[in-house]
Chain A
Amino acid sequence: METRPLTAYIARRLAGAIPLLLLISLISYGLMGLAPGGPTAILSQQARSLTPAARHAYEVALGLDKPWYVQYFYWLKELIVHGSLGNSFVDQRPVLARIAEKLPITVELLSLALLLTLVIAIPIGIRAAVKRDSFFDNASTAIALIGYGVPVFWLGILLIDVFAMHLRWLPGSGINSVGREGDPLDLLRHLILPAFTLAIVSVAGWLRYQRASMLDVLDEPYVQTARSKGLPERVVLYRHALRNALLPMITLLGLQLPGLVGGAYFVEYIFSIPGMGYLGINSIFQRDYPTVMGITMLSALMVILGNLLADVLYGAADPRIRYD
């Protein structure tokens, strides 16, 4: 793989992402602006005697006295000229600072969920391919598809009910126990149920891809050759077949990321995890437009970069791929 075509490819992809991000921002801002309810409604409830003059002063201070498309223009200008996502309507702090506080926990949750997904899906996918059309193959596929079809919020509540409320094996909310802040083991215990919730939902996709990919590879001549040389089946499978069967899975990483990020937001809310998703959903309820926009844009960027990374990694893993 040559460096120059790859660099040009990445530059082309990033340039292509700009109009996409602009479109996402415009649609998101428009939807928010057209949604019923606004920040001043909440304020006038909290401060019962908010006079029309005080309400107007508040709207002017936040730029809410202008139509949504004008507000969008100012928001975009601030982003392009100053690289700022603005300040939260709720606590007046920079949106970037608010997101930076929450991002690590979301990344930790996503990483653990992805790890669990791979640990579950890959061995089962391989075994299902090797034992093609067996009971194991059919059962694992059926179970995985049930997991895929289950709504993430329902599954989360079910797991909380069983493992946190009834069996009391694991905590069902938050990221640490009172008095155990900063304890990594305690954090891990808190992340197990939400990560499993996400993993169960995404296992089906990975499992099916792994199975199909393995089946393709098992029919390849070099696998037949390895077998005919009398190599043990374990060596054939894991040294010759698996290495190539894992290649297409890199692409899947990019394809699965949007679902995983979206799912993480629901899971954070269900499990009361103060990450980016929780912040985002609360911000929607509070009509905190700058924070909602910040999280939307960052999520979109994560998905775009995830896809790009998958494509680049795929190229790195398979020298036949060219970036012309």
Chain B
Amino acid sequence: MLCGCAAGAARDPNSLVILEAADGATLNPLFSTDAASALYEQFIFDPLVNVGDDFKPIPWLATAWRSSVNHLHWTVDLRRDVHWSDGVPFTSKDVVWTWQAQLDPATGFPYLGQFDYIASVRASGPSTVEFTLSQPNALFESQALNASILPEHILGKIPRRQLRLSAFGEHPVGTGPFFLERWRHDEEISFTRNPRWWHGPVTVPRIAVRIELNDQARLDAMQEGSGDVLDGLGTSGYAILQQQAPKLRLLHLPDLYSFFIYTNLRRLGLDDLHVRQAMLYGWDRRAVVRGLLHGDAIVATGVVPIALRLWYDPNVRRYDYDPARAQDLLDAAGWPKGNDGIREKNGHRLAFELLLTGADAATEDLAAEFQSDMRAIGVAITVRSLDFATFLTETQSLHYDLALGGWGGVPDPDQFTLLESKQIPPTGNNLMSYSNPTVDRDVTLGLRALEYSERKALYDSMQRVTAEDLPVLFYINTYYRAAFNPRVRVSVKDVLPDQYVFRDVYAWRLDR
């Protein structure tokens, strides 16, 4: 009989084996948009400013940075002891080239819109760079200065329009703690340590990221000890490892994502605030969390996830399950029940279609429960499941009523492109067509303010107003879960969720 286990498999004790569900697309940060590529890039490249504890910016390739009084001019001092992996010294030319390439539309940098407030970047010496902004931006330090810096001496020779097709994405040259060793797409990508890294010795000799497309295979590899870190565990996988692999160290902390049901406010019925409020009162989200999600999520109370402790405002209007109140709201708003139990006004039935994507059994169960809860208060819901690209096209072209989705992943409360009234597609991602002057002011000034107290007041206001307006029906905040082999010596309490898990992997230690 053949055995399905891999026990006894030869294992390189010097390799940190990370298990991932999907491979990255490219190692060229100018064109990468997926999470796996971002993971690999942090091994190879360095930013000017890195992410420290509590997501605060810390010096990296930049030793210091300061702004003018009006926050429109920033001067960044660079380290002088850094070399690219091919031995060429790192200078301000690299920073200037990286930013000029990113800001040039000919390059096709997908995040160009996020940095359109950067007017110019120039070198004022071999180790000093000046940024000029068209308006102050609170994300300049945490996002712009956190971008990977690329080698001018290699990429500068390629016309910008041709950069997309260059082989750099397969053969990168960086200043980071690791070199690319080998990449077998959809199977494994490996990195070896940079022995001359400017930051100091790298304690992990080698990283092998194994792409295991199947959930069970990743769990098996952790249980058998052939995997060291399982990043981004699902609810059921976490429960299995908790029961069956007591030796593993498990990480479980609130992540930076919020999930909602988007409402298209251009649809008759959904444009009525009482209807949206009634739908949230009539949706038993606690029962969904308790039942379908085994208690492994937090009922969301607003647009900012609870994990952003510095920004999350709990003092907003709450919508605890109250179907009687939901019915009262709908009655008061002039939506009486028709013969079939579905409410209607002026011949228009309160009937909507809910779009889902990537629907697994749990999501479909969730949709069924939502459907049932809504039916109970007189709102008819039909469900349509779509592939991701079609789902996005339908929501971005506003051809939908309700859609289950989410946003987040960044350690900042900024919601400008999601809630500001001019960000309705095709300009931005305000898929709800939401418009409120107070929120417009909050998200606009929130981006321009640099003081924490000032920003906090603006984002508190944003959270209060959106909790009243309900442009989205708040669903859940999720947890980030990961599993660590005990041979990996890392302080789990210091680990940040999501893409920040490996931010200090160079300092981890491996027991033999």
Contacts and interface: CB of A to CB of B under 8 A. Distances in A.
A107 interface: no
A48 B214 contact: no
A285 interface: yes
Contacts of B4: 164, 168-172, 189
Contacts of B407: 48
B332 interface: no
A41 B393 contact: yes
A47 interface: yes
Contact of B25 (A41, A90, A177): A90
A91 interface: yes
A285 B22 CA distance: 14
Q: For chain A, what secondary structure do more than half of its interface residues adopt (helix, strand, loop), or is it mixed?
A: loop
A292 to B, nearest CB: 12
B124 interface: no
B390 interface: yes
Given A286-B389, A287-B389, A61 B217 contact: no
Given A47-B110, A180-B10, A169 B226 contact: no
Interface in A144-183: 164-165, 168-175, 177-181
B110 A92 contact: no
B221 A168 contact: no
B390 A37 contact: yes
Place the interface of chain B in its size category.
35 or more
B3 A177 contact: no
Nearest to A275: B186
Contact of B113 (A49, A175, A271): A49
Contacts, number: 173
A202 to B, nearest CB: 23
A127 interface: no
Contacts of B54: none
B388 interface: yes
A91 B25 contact: yes
B418 interface: yes
Interface stretch (A52-60, A213-221, A230-238, A304-312): A52-60
Contacts of A101: 184-185
Interface in B1-44: 1-6, 9-12, 17, 19, 25-26, 28, 31, 33-34
A181 B391 CA distance: 37
A228 interface: no
A170 B3 CA distance: 6
Interface residues of A, number: 57
A179 B170 CA distance: 24
B108 A174 contact: no
A180 B5 contact: no
A88 to B, nearest CB: 8
A172 B116 contact: no
B196 to A, nearest CB: 29
A52 B216 contact: no
Nearest to B24: A91
Nearest to A61: B108
A225 interface: no
Interface string A261-272: 000000000011
A256 to B, nearest CB: 27
Nearest to B215: A173
Interface in A31-77: 35-39, 41-55, 57-58, 61
Nearest to B27: A91
Nearest to B167: A93
Contact of B5 (A43, A168, A172): A168
A92 B26 contact: yes
Nearest to B184: A101
Nearest to A168: B4
B169 interface: yes
B457 interface: no
Contact of B389 (A41, A87, A165): A41
Contacts of A45: 392, 396, 429
B201 interface: no
Given A38-B389, A50-B110, A274 B187 contact: yes
A91 to B, nearest CB: 4
A49 B393 contact: no
Contacts of B34: 46
A36 B494 CA distance: 44
Contacts of A240: none
B187 A181 contact: yes
Given A173-B212, A178-B212, A274-B186, A42 B417 contact: no
Given A50-B113, A168-B4, A37 B389 contact: yes
Interface in A245-291: 271-272, 274, 278-279, 285-287
A179 B9 contact: yes
Nearest to B108: A61
Contacts of A47: 33, 110-111, 113-114
Interface of B: 1-6, 9-12, 17, 19, 25-26, 28, 31, 33-34, 105-106, 108-114, 116, 161, 164-165, 169-170, 184-188, 210-214, 216-217, 221, 224, 226-227, 387-394, 396, 407, 417-418, 426-429
21 contacts: A37-B388, A38-B393, A41-B389, A46-B110, A48-B418, A49-B113, A49-B429, A52-B427, A58-B110, A61-B108, A164-B216, A168-B4, A171-B4, A173-B213, A174-B214, A177-B226, A178-B9, A271-B214, A272-B214, A272-B217, A274-B186
List 3 tightest A-B contacts by C-beta distance, closest first. Answer: A37-B389, A173-B214, A177-B6
Given A92-B169, A180-B9, 17 more contacts: A37-B393, A46-B34, A47-B33, A48-B429, A49-B429, A53-B112, A92-B26, A93-B169, A101-B185, A169-B3, A171-B4, A177-B9, A177-B226, A178-B221, A178-B224, A274-B187, A278-B186
Interface of A: 35-39, 41-55, 57-58, 61, 87, 90-93, 98, 101-102, 164-165, 168-175, 177-181, 186, 189, 192, 271-272, 274, 278-279, 285-287
